[in-house]
Structure 1
Amino acid sequence: MNGKKITYYSRRVVIRVSASDIVLSKQQNREPRPVAECPTFWQSKRMSNLNESTDQGLYEFDPSGALLATHLPMDRRSGKVRDVYDLGDRLMIVSSDRISAFDYILPSGIPNKGRLLTQMSRFWFSILKGRHHLKSTEIPLELSQKFDTSPLEGRTMIVEKADVVPFECVVRGYLEGSGLQEYQATGEVCGNPLPEGLRQCDALPQPIFTPATKAEQGHDENVTFARMANDIGQPLAEKLREESLRIYREASEHAASKGLIIADTKFEFGIVAGEIVLVDEVLTPDSSRFWDAATYSPGAAQPSFDKQFVREYLSNCGWDKQSDPPALPAEVIERTAAKYNEAFQRITGETLA
């Protein structure tokens, strides 16, 4: 690293494009957008270049040691947090230490965040019922024989390829975030009517399914179940709703035994050989809102195990949210890392090596 600061930020829109998107577009008699026209960030090199490469330039770190980017000489797609490499019949997902807020990837990372996310997903995949895409967390031998792959250890998943359903399957058990805003304006959330008089962070009478899709600007766009069913078909939509609610209830029971509340979360699913498969990350602080049951007090915002400190700092430091984002102070990085680590330890009962 030599103390060099790596500036790695972008106002980046990430859209997943898969065979399922093309199929769904054809079903609706719409012309699918060519992949080249979609605002997805791609970096591509050929597998044949493996023999010609060295370790130099494969990884980018910030001064804190956070891994900001990987540049293995293979077909690569990068999102806000993950670098995804095509291995042919499978994908290799590498979770970096990047952190985003207000649609920006920040120049500072959170050390070991990617490892915590990967190991937390691994834990949930191992205890939840139902099929998932994780096949291994081992780094492929052909890579470790050619490069120093130590930066990838603990943050890599080898997964089954799937046609990703173009909707996020959000489940809410408590009233917060965009759900609270919609409820205060309409009395319902994504077409789900709710009782009058609910307060911020109140428990809902029962968990609700509130799907979302990605808008052109990259913001999550909440939609009704009817909209989802119209786009992908009623049978598939109903199965996804049922599976999402089942997983949420199962995970909530485990979290409750650890003194935590899962206020809401999002799942992503794919289709493999006609079967629904849970994909992407699952029940991490990046995809879920975790609260401490011991201090839970509805009627106001709850402290959460996520990037709350990052959002608060950026909202109060004078940044206009239009220009390049500032680097995070060491204290904000340390407090955020501690929150992620606490969530991991309490959920899994493990300590990150």
Structure 2
Amino acid sequence: MTETRLHAQGKVRDIYDVGGDRLLLVATDRISAFDVVLADPIPDKGRVLTGLTLFWLERTGQIVGNHLLSADRRDFPEPFRSEPSLAGRAMLVRRAQVIPVECVARGYLTGSGLKQYRAEGNVCGVPLPPGLGEASRLPEPIFTPTTKAAEGHDLPLTFEETVALIGRGLAERLRELTIALYELGARIAAERGIVVADTKFEFGFADGELILIDEVLTPDSSRFWPADGYAPGRVQPSFDKQFVRDWLDASGWDHEPPPPNLPAEVIGRTALKYQEAYTRISGERFEHYRHRMGVMSDRDWERGAMDLDRLRTGSSSDAVAHDEGEHA
């Protein structure tokens, strides 16, 4: 039986070292806002993130390889194989040497990109035409990398700063891959009525091969907007934790721990938004994904939260913080 050794823990994911240059990535139902992990989980959020990542990894292999070995619980080493709570929310992956750059692609102007544009007329050193506003579509997708901060906020990098950090050849390759992945994802999502405003990718090296790692084109790593409601000049509705952010802001919370508890209505509406994102993008009902991955109960997530906590607290640990920043 494999020792359960917690390798790293992020805001959402628990990462276990299962030996043989393999890791088990477990997407919990934890949710963060303003870089603070909230006390209330969002039911099945981790399964949405895992399901969408699996969907995209199947479709991006012609652009770049990835770290996935299996998401079938029967392939996991014990004791993970015997944990029903891991069904649909865990991936067995190759261990990779992580490149210390968050690779962000933007097709639309919003968030920190809009703030930087208004102050400097560019985003991460990429000049943009005057007159752009909230949710403006950019002339073409741009590469706007950031640092990978273990704590706090990632910081924007110009391309030349990225070169200084990792070398010109690798920086150019990451820019090329990031834009290609974004364009593929944006095209497929558009066919399903969703605008991908921006997204971020992570890369690493495994056995000398540059590969795509971590989550891919999920509501946590991307901004998804409904295409039928898109209107530049205003903040767009989105398929993510916007309900949570809006409620927290209206509550008067100062964005410092401890956060307030979320009302049941906010939790429920957020869960439905995540599940709708999965269904619209994948074309598969989320309930079918759960069944296909071996989830036995509609309310499995309730017991699952306790099981995941038992796994985490019962493991030996040399865990370090794993950066899972808010999307930019």
Per the normalisation by structure 2, the TM-score is 0.83
| 1:337 aligned counterpart, secondary structure | helix
Match of residue 39, structure 2, among 100, 107, 124: 107
For residues 119 and 325 of structure 1, the distance between their equivalents in structure 2, rounded to whole angstroms, comes to 28
Match of residue 219, structure 1, among 139, 153, 163: 153
Letter in structure 1 aligned against 2:7: R
For residues 141 and 235 of structure 1, the distance between their equivalents in structure 2, rounded to whole angstroms, comes to 36
Distance 1:80 1:216, change over 3 A: closer
- 2:138 is the alignment partner of 1:204: yes
Q: Which has the higher contact order (CA 8 A, sep 6+)?
A: 2
Q: Offset of 1:273 from its aligned partner?
A: 2.9
Deviations along 1:170-207, whole A, 9 cap, x unmatched?
A: 00000000000000011100000000001110100000
- 2:48 is the alignment partner of 1:116: yes
Distance 1:157 1:141, change over 3 A: closer
Give the corresponding residue for 1:164.
98
Give the corresponding residue for 1:143.
78
Deviations along 1:2-51, whole A, 9 cap, x unmatched?
A: xxxxxxxxxxxxxxxxxxxxxxxxxxxxxxxxxxxxxxxxxxxxx77x5x
Distance 1:215 1:85, change over 3 A: closer
Higher helix share: 2
Give the corresponding residue for 1:262.
196
Per the normalisation by structure 1, the TM-score is 0.77
Q: Offset of 1:76 from its aligned partner?
A: 3.4
Match of residue 77, structure 1, among 8, 11, 33: 8
For residues 287 and 234 of structure 1, the distance between their equivalents in structure 2, rounded to whole angstroms, comes to 25
Instruction: Report which stretch shifted further, 270-279 or 223-232.
Output: 270-279
For residues 154 and 191 of structure 1, the distance between their equivalents in structure 2, rounded to whole angstroms, comes to 40
Q: Offset of 1:161 from its aligned partner?
A: 1.1
Does the Cα contact within 8 Å between 2:36 and 2:256 map onto a contact in 1?
no
Q: Offset of 1:74 from its aligned partner?
A: 2.4
For residues 288 and 346 of structure 1, the distance between their equivalents in structure 2, rounded to whole angstroms, comes to 15
Q: Offset of 1:214 from its aligned partner?
A: 3.2
Give the corresponding residue for 1:299.
233
Give the corresponding residue for 1:245.
179
| 1:282 aligned counterpart, secondary structure | coil
For residues 322 and 151 of structure 1, the distance between their equivalents in structure 2, rounded to whole angstroms, comes to 31
For residues 257 and 106 of structure 2, the distance between their equivalents in structure 1, rounded to whole angstroms, comes to 33
Letter in structure 2 aligned against 1:336: T
For residues 257 and 72 of structure 2, the distance between their equivalents in structure 1, rounded to whole angstroms, comes to 39
- Structure 2: state its 5+ residue gaps: 291-328
Deviations along 1:88-116, whole A, 9 cap, x unmatched?
A: 12100000000001121100000000011
Distance 1:207 1:133, change over 3 A: same
Q: Offset of 1:142 from its aligned partner?
A: 4.0
Letter in structure 2 aligned against 1:326: P
Distance 1:133 1:346, change over 3 A: same
Letter in structure 1 aligned against 2:254: D
Q: Offset of 1:141 from its aligned partner?
A: 5.0
Give the corresponding residue for 1:53.
none
For residues 132 and 309 of structure 1, the distance between their equivalents in structure 2, rounded to whole angstroms, comes to 32
For residues 252 and 318 of structure 1, the distance between their equivalents in structure 2, rounded to whole angstroms, comes to 35
Give the corresponding residue for 1:41.
none
Q: Offset of 1:216 from its aligned partner?
A: 6.5
Q: Give runs of ≥4 in structure 1 deviating > 6 Å.
A: none
Choose 1 or 2 for highest CA Rg: 1
Letter in structure 2 aligned against 1:179: G
- Structure 1: state its 5+ residue gaps: 1-46, 51-72
Match of residue 230, structure 1, among 139, 164, 168: 164
Name the % identity.
53
Instruction: Report which stretch shifted further, 192-201 or 320-329.
Output: 320-329
Give the corresponding residue for 1:97.
29
Q: Offset of 1:318 from its aligned partner?
A: 2.2
